[in-house]
């Protein structure tokens, strides 16, 4: 279970959110919605530990946050590496087996592009490459910032199925989105 307790965040003398409280249990999706600049990405970065908590606390099963997968607005892809090299780099950084790379490329539909430089990929293919990280190593908590950005209809359907599979395995997904899914809890900032 993920618990956000009395979270507040102030930027330039303005609260993006104040005394925010919510819980997300295993097998649940929390969708964070709101206008541009409302604090969605800030909240996700705070949960991921990239931004210091100003007020309140974030707990995972009554402890600090464990290993997690965070995919933000930027894909975090190296343009001058191939698809496969990007996944090899990520695999080395997260200390996981290279055996999962081929499976991940196949799952996201990029296996035939494995030797293509990332700079030659479309925006949707780059997003698929970023999302392939979710498949390299299991993590109970996924934090996704606009995960469907640049994905075509088929890619959107694949992403929904991937999220549903993760939830079925008792995972937790926190996703900021302007296009809410038809399932999960919604938190509007």
**What pLDDT is attached to residue 39?**
95
pTM: 0.94
* Residue closest to 31 by CA, chosen among 177, 158, 150: 177
Residue 60: strand pairing partners: 2, 63
Which residues of the chain fall below pLDDT 50? none
**What pLDDT is attached to residue 66?**
67
At which residue do the structure tokens 């464990």 appear? 66
SS3 at position 43: helix
CA distance 10 to 18: 8
**What pLDDT is attached to residue 106?**
96
CA distance 63 to 40: 23
At which residue do the structure tokens 């964070």 appear? 32
Per-residue pLDDT reduced to its tens digit, 49-87: 999 999 999 999 888 776 788 999 889 999 999 999 999
CB atoms closer than 10 angstroms to residue 18:
13
CB atoms closer than 10 angstroms to residue 43:
26
Q: What tokens appear for 128 in the block?
A: 């698929």
């Amino acid at each position: 279970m993920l618990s956000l307790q009395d979270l507040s965040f102030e930027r330039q003398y303005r609260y993006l959110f104040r005394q925010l409280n919510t819980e997300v249990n295993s097998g649940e999706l929390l969708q964070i919605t709101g206008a541009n600049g409302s604090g969605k990405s800030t909240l996700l970065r705070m949960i991921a530990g990239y931004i210091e908590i100003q007020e309140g606390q974030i707990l995972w099963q009554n402890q600090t946050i464990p290993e997690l997968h965070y995919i933000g607005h930027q894909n975090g892809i190296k343009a001058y590496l191939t698809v496969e090299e990007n996944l090899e780099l990520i695999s080395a950084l997260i200390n996981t087996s290279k055996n999962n790379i081929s499976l991940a490329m196949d799952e996201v539909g990029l296996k035939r592009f494995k030797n293509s430089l990332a700079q030659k990929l479309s925006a949707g293919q780059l997003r698929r490459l970023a999302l392939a990280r979710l498949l390299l190593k299991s993590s109970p908590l996924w934090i996704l910032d606009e995960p469907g950005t640049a994905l075509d209809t088929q890619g959107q359907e694949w992403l929904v199925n991937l999220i549903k599979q993760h939830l079925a395995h008792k995972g937790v997904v926190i996703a900021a989105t302007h296009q809410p899914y038809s399932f999960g809890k919604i938190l509007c900032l």
